[in-house]
């Protein structure tokens, strides 16, 4: 059975693409088959290339969208009175390119002065495709009477309340900063984020139209973070020259300040994410901004106007500030003209801004009614593969449920501070930052985050003495005395490990600064392996575009013997199950089946037999070459009777050299998100980070550590 949901905008500028992205993500997270179709491309001003919604879904979801018809073709068909033929073409394209037994998200057209036919064409397309209707509206500054009136009119257009095809409404941009004329403010990064208006939200939920049968399917709050562009986006819009590239492709702009005052009157504007616009000959302001950057404040960018480049002596003086990644750009227009140009900046998310797109999709998906989204999956086929979106959803949803306390020994590391703030705000964990309170809060301010009460800051000096006795009891046989224990506990990783050993926290995440050895050694000495485990190993979760694979062991054991390799296979399968992946384990070798010989192949063959005898309930097979394990056609050819070949999702490598090389080659070649290494076989969860970890990597590692803690309890 298939379901078709068509999103119909009620008015213009409702953020239809945003809602489409969120609905696609919410359905993806259910792990079911999915189609996306925007029947008619509707390019915005300045758009080139692919249709925006279709391109975003193609690049950021595990679905291949159906190609839309061009606007020129559609308008030509309508003007020639060939609408019926156009609808037949739309149906034919949908039927020929859609997956059967799936949920389909269909995005309608927005009515504008250039496209006055959109409302009528939406109605005809919805009927032609037999789609259920979900309206997308923006409350704006209108009172509830006017909002209800608008919805009543559009519901009547689609058959009224008695129509079984009219399902509900999603409100977008709730509590957004509208001006007195009811228009969304166009300035980049509104400085003062509007407070969430509970009374307003409650009034929207109680509109008379919802008592007549129309359902409220989502309230998507406006978020300043989700409209913050990158510095490079503004540079492209203004056709600016780059004087210092820095982190232009990454820095986010959350506010704009025009620097025309004396510097002592504008120090408050030197804050993270600020776009500071100044005449290029204002050396005093330029130097002050560079000083702020040197002090650790991540300004968004400097925009110099008037075509004035900084004096070469000033540039030399500020060269170290440039090395912090501060973007500096130059325009030839004066400050007033530049302000006018900034006012016309298009705040829609660019197709190539992956980080912002991901945040928009997650935020919108979480704002939709969960029961309604789940109802869409009734009698619809599940995907055989677990998609990256479904995996991330599983991680975050399970982490919220278990609500574990996770210690972060690198408490003054900037990425870790930001990740702790995110985890606390999203309810993924109760993070504990080890470090000085004043320093950590200063770093948080520099990173532009506010640490809520959900983030606990613990001073090592205040608690170190509590763990001396316990450490001596554990390591006294190795010559550890009170004095030695106190010295060992100067290391925050050791201190955090003792907190975990004493059950004062549920898990530990480190490695953004410390080496793998520094993270793991205290755990091996103090936590030890679980009773059921003969060794500690690791897995990586490889988030391929269409599925999640588990790789083990790629970080710990250099050359495991057959018994150890069998244990790694079973541990990796258990980890896969813990995170919602039904394991099909391939024991990787350079030979498939009985086609090859040699000590390395024999080790894998023996390990496979041991693992199968230990866990006959698991699908484990080997030896298998990687292509035979991963590619269905190759698997059928090389191992036709294997229950795993061509369908493997857990790959167990014969040694560390093979595993580490393979995971890095796959990750770097395809620019994949890779979560791990996650340690297996410990009594309590300790996980290591890559020293190049991004904030999102740390967030997901904290989440999976929390889930591990629940599994170990």
The pLDDT tens digits for 328-368 are: 999 999 999 999 999 888 888 888 898 899 999 999 999 99
Helix (H) or strand (E) holding 530: none
Which residues partner with 9 through β-bridges?
136
Pick the CATH number of 537-678 from 3.30.365.10, 3.40.50.11030, 3.40.50.10750, 3.65.10.10: 3.40.50.10750
| Cβ neighbours of residue 230 closer than 8 Å, sequence gap 6 or more | 248, 249, 250, 251, 252, 253, 353, 356
- Is pLDDT of 479 > 70? yes
Mean pLDDT for 455-471 is 95
Considering the four listed CATH numbers 3.20.20.140, 3.40.1390.20, 3.40.47.10, 3.40.1160.10, the one that applies to the domain covering 231-343 is: 3.40.1390.20
Ordered by start, the domain boundaries in the chain are 3-223+350-383, 231-343, 390-526, 537-678
Which CATH number is associated with domain 3-223+350-383? 3.40.50.300
pLDDT tens-digit map of 493-502? 999 999 999 9
| CB 255, CB 231: distance < 8 Å | no
Domains 3-223+350-383 and 390-526 share a fold: yes
| Mean pLDDT for the stretch of residues 27-52 | 84
What local confidence, expressed as pLDDT, does residue 697 receive? Answer: 87
**Which range among 70-84, 199-213, 238-252, 511-525 shows the weakest confidence by mean pLDDT?**
199-213
**442: Cβ contacts below 8 Å, ≥ 6 apart:** 296
Please give the structure tokens belonging to residue 262. 């004396």
- List, for residues 208-266, the tens digit of each pLDDT value: 898 888 899 999 998 888 889 999 999 999 999 999 999 999 999 988 999 988 888 88
**Is 545's pLDDT higher than 80?**
no
Q: What is the pLDDT of residue 190?
A: 47
**Residue 45's pLDDT band (boundaries 50, 70, 90)?**
low
Q: Are 144 and 203 in contact (CB under 8 A)?
A: yes
Beta strands in 298-428 (DSSP E): 301-305, 328-330, 405-408
Pairing of strands 507-510, 405-408: parallel
Answer for the pair 361, 226: CB distance below 8 angstroms, yes or no: no
Helix axes 468-475, 516-526, angle to 10 degrees: 80
Whether the Cβ atoms of residue 183 and residue 141 lie closer than 8 Å to each other? no
The per-residue pLDDT for range 366-385, each reduced to its tens digit, is 999 999 998 887 767 666 66
Instruction: Tell me the mean pLDDT in the region 305-316.
Output: 92
Amino acid 383: pLDDT: 62
Look up the CATH number of domain 390-526: 3.40.50.10950
Q: Six-digit token pair at 505?
A: 């926290």
- Tell me the C-alpha distance between 227 and 359, whole Å: 10
β-pair type (215-221, 241-244): unpaired
464: which DSSP letter? G
Average the pLDDT over 635-663 and give the result: 94
Instruction: Name the pLDDT band for 93 (thresholds 50, 70, 90).
Output: very high
């Amino acid at each position: 059975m298939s379901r078709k949901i068509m999103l119909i905008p009620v008015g213009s500028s409702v953020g239809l693409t945003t809602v489409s992205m969120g609905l696609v993500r919410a359905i993806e997270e259910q792990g079911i088959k999915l189609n996306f179709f925007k029947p008619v491309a509707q390019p915005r001003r300045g758009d080139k290339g692919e249709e925006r919604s279709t391109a975003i879904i193609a690049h950021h979801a595990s679905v291949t969208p159906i190609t839309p018809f061009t606007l020129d073709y559609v308008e030509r068909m309508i003007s020639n009175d060939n609408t019926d033929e156009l609808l037949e073409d739309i149906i034919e394209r949908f039927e020929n390119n859609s997956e059967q037994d799936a949920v389909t998200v269909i995005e309608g057209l927005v009515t504008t002065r250039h496209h006055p036919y959109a409302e009528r064409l939406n109605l005809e397309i919805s009927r032609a495709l037999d789609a259920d209707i979900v309206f997308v509206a923006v409350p704006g500054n209108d009172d509830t009477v006017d909002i209800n009136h608008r919805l009543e009119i559009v519901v009547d257009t689609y058959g009224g309340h008695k129509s079984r095809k009219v399902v509900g409404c999603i409100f977008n941009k709730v509590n957004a900063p509208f001006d007195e004329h009811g228009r969304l403010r166009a300035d980049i990064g509104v400085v003062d984020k509007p407070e969430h208006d509970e009374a307003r939200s409650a009034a929207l939920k109680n509109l008379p139209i919802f008592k007549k049968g129309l359902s409220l399917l989502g309230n998507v709050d406006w978020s300043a973070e989700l409209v913050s562009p990158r510095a490079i986006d503004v540079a492209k819009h203004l056709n600016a020259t780059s004087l210092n590239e820095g982190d232009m492709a990454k820095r986010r702009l959350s506010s704009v300040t025009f620097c025309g005052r004396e510097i002592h009157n504008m120090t408050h504007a030197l804050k993270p994410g600020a776009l500071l616009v100044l005449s290029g000959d204002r050396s005093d302001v330029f130097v002050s901004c560079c000083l702020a950057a040197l002090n650790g404040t991540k300004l968004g960018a400097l925009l110099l106007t008037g075509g004035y480049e900084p004096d070469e002596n000033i540039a030399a003086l500020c060269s170290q500030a440039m090395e912090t990644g501060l973007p500096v750009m130059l325009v030839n227009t004066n400050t007033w003209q530049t302000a006018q140009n900034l006012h016309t900046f298009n705040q829609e998310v660019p197709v190539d801004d992956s980080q912002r797109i991901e945040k928009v999709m997650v935020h919108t998906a979480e704002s939709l009614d969960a029961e309604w989204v789940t109802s869409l999956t009734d009698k619809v086929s599940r995907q055989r593969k677990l998609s990256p979106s479904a995996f991330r959803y599983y991680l975050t949803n399970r982490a919220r449920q278990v609500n574990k306390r996770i210690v972060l020994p690198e408490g003054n590391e900037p990425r870790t501070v930001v990740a702790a703030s995110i985890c606390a705000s999203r309810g993924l964990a109760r993070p504990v930052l080890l470090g000085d309170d004043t320093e950590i809060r200063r770093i948080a301010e520099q990173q532009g985050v506010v640490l809520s009460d959900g983030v606990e800051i613990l001073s090592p000096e205040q608690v170190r003495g509590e763990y001396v006795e316990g450490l001596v009891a554990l390591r006294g046989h190795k010559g550890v005395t009170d004095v030695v224990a106190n010295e060992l506990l100067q290391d925050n990783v050791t201190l955090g490990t003792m907190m975990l050993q004493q059950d004062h926290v549920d898990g530990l995440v480190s490695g953004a600064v410390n080496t793998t050895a520094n993270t793991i050694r205290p755990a091996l000495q103090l936590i030890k392996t679980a009773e059921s485990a003969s060794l500690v190993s690791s897995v990586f979760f490889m988030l391929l575009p269409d599925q999640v694979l588990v790789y083990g062991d790629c970080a710990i054991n250099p050359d495991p013997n057959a018994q150890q390799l069998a244990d790694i296979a079973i541990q990796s399968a258990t980890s896969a199950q813990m995170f919602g992946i039904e394991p099909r384990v391939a024991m990787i070798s350079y030979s498939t089946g009985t086609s090859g010989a040699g000590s390395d192949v024999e080790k894998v063959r023996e390990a496979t037999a041991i693992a199968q005898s230990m866990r006959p309930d698991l699908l484990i097979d080997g030896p298998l070459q990687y292509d035979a394990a991963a590619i269905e056609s190759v698997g059928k050819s090389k191992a036709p009777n294997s229950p795993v070949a061509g369908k493997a999702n857990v790959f167990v490598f014969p040694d560390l050299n093979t595993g580490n090389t393979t995971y890095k080659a796959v990750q770097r070649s395809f620019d994949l998100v890779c979560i791990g290494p996650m340690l297996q076989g410990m009594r309590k969860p300790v996980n290591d980070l890559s020293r190049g970890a991004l904030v999102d990597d740390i967030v997901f590692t904290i989440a999976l550590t929390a889930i591990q803690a629940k599994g170990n309890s």
